[in-house]
């Protein structure tokens, strides 16, 4: 499809190569303000299909300790949306991966959503993931985001009822993000029936690709649900890996 969203296209490309799309999440300003964009470029070079850049917030209620710590560290260094968008504008032309900004609503709201849509779109962001902006609350902004080719990526959970999945599907998202655990980021995903059933359900409801995230640290976690997932997101595991001084490229290669 010519008018296919770039994020959807990235995932389809990976699937066409016979693999899952890889979506690393890295908090802006991590491991340091100086090195952050090198890490992003390295992730891109190592084959990330989409990169989620975390916009720091002082009170990240959906996140576990690893992401929260990274987020607070970024804030101490003065990382904010302006810095992220500027850096993105400088670096996006070097990269192949789709770019998604992931962050809580208040920093976006204070930046000004009109401004955000314009500037982030122009700098090379392709989508937004806002964990505390659910369906009912995003509706006033969805046209604005769409007008600037910023895809709103819905997060759904193991406890999201089928009719609500359908409501989200009605937004025609570029992809849907299934949170694999009933918990916060970094909670380890088990292989359970609930997850498998929800994936089957999501497949029926959504026309778009399905990404799985929260609590993925090793490839064998995907063993039994391989056919039901199009893309995988990893955050806490990557952060811990980088924190040990290891390279982003190595981490990604272990998943390819």
Partner 1 sequence: MKKGYFGSFGGMFVPELLVPPLAELEEAVNRIMPEKSFQEDIARIHKDFVGRPTPVYYCGNLSRELGFDLFLKREDLAHTGAHKINNTVGQALLARHMGKTCLLAETGAGQHGVATATAAAMLGLECMIFMGALDVERQSINVQRMELLGARVEAVKSGTRTLKDAINEALRYWIAHQQDTHYCLGSAVGPHPFPLLVRELQSVIGREAREQLLERTGRLPDKVVACVGGGSNAIGIFHPFVNDLKVQLVGIEAGGSGRTGDNHSATLAKGWPGVLHGTHSFLLQTPEGQLLPSHSIAPGLDYPGVGPEHSYLKDSGRAGYEVVHDHEALEAFRLLSGKEGIIPALESAHAVAWAISDRAGIEPGSQVLVNLSGRGDKDLNIFRKAEQDTEN
Which are the catalytic amino acids? 52, 63
Q: How far is CA 207 from the centre of its chain?
A: 19
105 lies in the binding site for partner 1 (CB under 8 A): yes
Report the nearest approach of partner 1 to the CB of residue 28 (Å): 12
Query: How is residue 39 written in tokens?
Result: 């890490």
155 lies in the binding site for partner 1 (CB under 8 A): yes
Is the distance from CB of 70 to CB of 26 less than 8 angstroms?
A: no
Is the distance from CB of 56 to CB of 28 less than 8 angstroms?
A: yes
Report the nearest approach of partner 1 to the CB of residue 91 (Å): 21
Give the burial string for 224-247 (b: 16+ CB within 10 Å, else e). ebeebbbbbbbbbbbbebbeeeee
What three-state secondary structure class fits 213?
strand
Report the nearest approach of partner 1 to the CB of residue 256 (Å): 30
**Closer CB to partner 1, residue 7 or residue 155?**
155
Instruction: Give the C-alpha separation, 175 to 169, whole Å.
Output: 9
182 lies in the binding site for partner 1 (CB under 8 A): yes
Report the nearest approach of partner 1 to the CB of residue 211 (Å): 14
156 lies in the binding site for partner 1 (CB under 8 A): yes
**Closer CB to partner 1, residue 125 or residue 252?**
125
Report the interface residues with partner 1, using CB under 8 A.
56-62, 64-65, 68, 72, 75, 80-81, 104-111, 131-134, 136-137, 154-161, 164, 179, 182-184, 187
């Amino acid at each position: 499809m010519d008018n296919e969203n770039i994020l959807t296209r990235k995932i389809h490309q990976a699937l066409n190569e016979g693999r899952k799309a890889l979506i690393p999440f890295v908090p802006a300003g991590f491991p340091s303000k100086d090195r952050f964009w090198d890490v992003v470029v390295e992730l891109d070079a190592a084959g990330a299909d989409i990169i989620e850049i975390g916009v720091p917030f002082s009170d990240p209620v959906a996140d576990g300790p690893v992401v929260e710590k990274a987020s607070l560290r970024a804030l101490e260094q003065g990382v904010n949306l302006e810095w992220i968008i500027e850096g993105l504008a400088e670096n996006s032309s070097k990269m192949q991966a789709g770019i998604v900004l992931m962050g809580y609503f208040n920093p976006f709201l204070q930046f000004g959503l009109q401004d955000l849509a314009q500037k982030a779109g122009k700098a090379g962001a392709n989508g937004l993931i806002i964990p505390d902006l659910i369906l009912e609350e995003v509706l006033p902004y969805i046209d604005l985001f769409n007008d600037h080719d910023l895809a709103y990526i819905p997060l759904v959970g193991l406890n999201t009822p089928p009719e609500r999945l359908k409501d989200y599907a009605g937004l025609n998202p570029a992809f849907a993000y299934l949170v694999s655990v009933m918990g916060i980021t970094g909670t380890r995903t088990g292989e359970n029936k609930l997850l498998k059933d929800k994936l089957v359900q999501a497949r029926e409801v959504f026309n778009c690709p399905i990404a799985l995230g929260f609590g993925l640290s090793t490839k064998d976690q995907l063993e039994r649900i391989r056919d039901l997932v199009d893309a995988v997101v990893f955050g806490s595991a990557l952060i811990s890996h980088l924190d040990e001084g290891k390279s982003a490229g190595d981490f990604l290669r272990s998943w390819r």
